[in-house]
Amino acid sequence: MENNSSGYWQAVLGLLTKILIIWFLVSFGAGILFAPALNSISLGGYPLGFWFAHQGSIYIFIVLIFWYAKKMGDIDRQFDVHEE
């Protein structure tokens, strides 16, 4: 187990960077930038780009919240700063 604060914050910032990239790709990318290409695919009778902009991004964001909580718990245990 490592106990250095710079390693801890490097791991936390790495996780946040990954989450923000996924957030950007889903919200801005799938909902706006790639919407014309995604609209050729239909999901539940609606174009996929429209679905991502209105429904799919919410599901992805909820998954990101739970993934963040799990990974932060793992990082906290790795650096021995977890709560009992």
Name beta bridge partners: 46: 43
pLDDT tens-digit profile of 36-81? 898 899 888 888 888 888 888 899 999 999 999 999 999 999 998 8
pLDDT confidence bin for 32, thresholds 50/70/90: confident
Q: Phi, psi (5° rounding) for residue 74?
A: -65, -45
Query: Is 69 within 8 Å of 62 (Cβ atoms)?
Result: no
Give the type of residue at 30.
A
Question: Tokens representing 56?
Answer: 């799919």
pLDDT tens-digit profile of 11-30? 999 999 999 999 999 888 88
Question: Tokens representing 10?
Answer: 């490097």
* Rounded Cα–Cα distance for residues 30 and 34 (Å): 5
- Sorted by where each begins, the domain ranges of the chain are 5-78
